[in-house]
A and B are shown apart, each in its own frame.
Chain A
Amino acid sequence: MRERVVELLLVEDNAGDVELVKEALKGVAFRVRLSVVKDGEEALAYLRRQGTHSKVSRPHLILLDLNLPRKDGYEVLREIKKDSRLKRIPVIVLSCSAAEKDVLESYDLQANSYVTKAADFEGIIKILNSIGGFWLEVATLPPN
């Protein structure tokens, strides 16, 4: 495993799910710095380094929940992929829904992948490990 630190942005409004991800990340095989934003508008502000987020660094990966208040996940995805400065960042859609139309819509909006949230904790650890393993070991991330 590479020794660099992965900057991960989690866009998730459910506090319980955030806790789970935080806890699960303790068990993964790579070093990660996790930032969490609770809704779509804050996510875009973070990515564009606006307002209170002016000093943050661009994340390497974005984990995006579809079910967000105000701006929903699809909107955020659309705006990220339209923004020439942001569209390179791989976006992994996280969703409770396994419905075909949600999957299709996400890929239509150019999500890099679609992951259904696991129902159990071990499953979440496995998912995060797979994500990290793939994007750090197998794929080449876009250079910042």
Chain B
Amino acid sequence: MASAKGSEDPAPGSRFLLRLGAVGILAGVYFALGKLGLSLAFVHPSATAVWPPTGITLAALLVLGYGVWPGVFLGAFLVNLTTAGTVGTSLGIAAGNTLEGLVGAYLVNRFANGRQAFDRPKDILKFVILAGMMSTMVSATLGVTSLSLGGFAAWTSYRSIWLTWWLGDLAGDLLIAPVLLLWSLEPRPGWRRTQVLEALLLLLFLYLVGQVVFGGFLSVEMSRYPLEFVCIPFLIWAAFRFGTREAATANLILAGIAIRKTLQGFGPFAGDHPNESLLLLQAFMGVTSVMALSLSAVISERARAQEELRRQAVDLARSNAELAQFASVASHDMQEPLRMISSHLQLLEHRYKGRLDPDAERFISFAVDGAKRMQAMIRDLLVYSRLGTGEETFGLFDCGEIVEATRSQLARVIGETGTVITTGSLPVVRGRRTEFLRLLQNLVDNAIKYRREVPPQIHIASELRASEWVFSVQDNGIGIRAEHQERIFRPFQRLHDRDERSGSGIGLTIAKKVVEQHGGRLWVESEPEKGSTFFFTLPSIRS
């Protein structure tokens, strides 16, 4: 790929040099820390419980890519060649360590979200098992086998050497790799002013805790007490108040202090067998590491979910507002031309009364009627579109009181038709009062409208079933045939001639939307020529 002038992509030549540089640095760091680790090799010169290079390898391969493996191989080879063993055994061990890194990195990339393994608790668990436990077995097996084959280790000690090797690598992965990975993702501290103070305070406490628990700061006898659990609140502090990155770092700092002090013979883990002490300490620090990482991952996951929720709520509110405004403007603007059509046709009617032939007058009245119906439809659609977007909040109201309000609002037509409305006992429920009023009004209005020759009798009742109230509005009207019972809830669907029964046909659609927005269902049971009962549910207050 040719590099254009000023392009950000380095030319292939300089990319190679960068890679070479990375490999070199990696080998150097590996060598240095490897020597440090092996200085603590007690069970066998080449097997130590403290092995940072595993963590460095994993982090390097995940951050820089598989291509830097030669650095690992070179570093491991040189460390072992200069410690104990032959070229052969050193090659075998180097191969094992390199493979461990590659296998671990591959598994983490494939199954645990790669560099972002510490974002989710699930991935942390996978990291621990796949990289921490499984990939390290590769290195332990290849390493100890090479040494035994080369005669540098007794086959009888295979198990104990293998265990030390494995646990040392495991600790390296759990303690060092997270710190390197997390800081590589976010190199800048990004702390606020107050957080800087808190961070310094935390560091101070970590140092003190380390000295007290592991270092015999207070007294040598006290240092023998198993007080290591005292470290945990400080790790939780780091996890809660900062993040995964800081929690892992805090853990590493404590581990460093603990290892140093334990080797000096202080602390609850110090004993006669340094290797045993180190292994136990590593186990402890490994577990606390997983705990701290998981805790902070859960916390940040929750924070992310809350943020997402908040963003969606804002989006929804904005979208609702836009919709309501659109509906309002559209219908308002649409009313005006309709008014023009309607009133000028009437003007025509008025001015030319008696001077037009009967056909013309009929045509005009059809047109006027059409315009009026359209106006009614637009008004109803506006009401429908505004349901649930208004500013009215959910509150408690008495259904009995709503029935009374409906009675007075429909008083005129109730009087004219001789309607009788009876009620059972009605509960207090949660919801939007004006919408519930509209719902009931629509149902009662329908019951009166679709009556038979006898005066309408309407009974409104409610029953508590499971955790919801089931309301019923029963009438003795004309009923609805089974095949129509689903259609009636659709907008503007009517079953009757306009001359017989008035109405735009959106009353039940509005009723259904109100019920559904309150978390319930609306349905009908009916028998033609007998009557209909509309049922709807509302969750009870207690649920």
Contacts and interface: CB of A to CB of B under 8 A. Distances in A.
Given A117-B339, A119-B375, A19 B344 contact: yes
Contacts of B339: 96, 117, 119
A134 interface: no
Contact of A122 (B332, B338, B346): B346
Interface in B339-367: 339-340, 342-344, 346-347, 349-351
B509 interface: no
Contacts of A23: 347, 350-351
B116 interface: no
A119 B349 CA distance: 15
B372 interface: yes
B343 A20 contact: yes
Interface residues of B, number: 17
Contacts of B351: 23
A118 B192 CA distance: 63
Given A20-B347, A120-B346, A121-B346, A97 B340 contact: no
A14 B347 CA distance: 16
A121 B372 contact: no
Given A23-B350, A23-B351, A121 B336 contact: no
A58 B32 CA distance: 102
B372 to A, nearest CB: 7
A96 B339 CA distance: 9
Interface string A76-116: 00000000000000000000110000000000000000000
Interface in B298-342: 332, 335-336, 338-340, 342
Given A23-B351, A96-B339, A121-B350, A16 B332 contact: no
Nearest to B351: A23
A119 B343 contact: yes
A47 interface: no
Interface in A44-89: none
Contacts of B368: 120
Contacts of B350: 23, 121
20 contacts: A16-B343, A19-B347, A20-B343, A23-B347, A23-B351, A96-B332, A96-B335, A96-B336, A96-B339, A97-B332, A117-B339, A119-B338, A119-B342, A119-B372, A119-B375, A120-B342, A120-B346, A121-B347, A121-B349, A122-B346
Given A16-B340, A20-B344, 16 more contacts: A14-B340, A19-B347, A20-B347, A23-B347, A96-B335, A118-B343, A119-B339, A119-B343, A119-B372, A120-B342, A120-B343, A120-B346, A120-B368, A120-B372, A121-B349, A124-B343
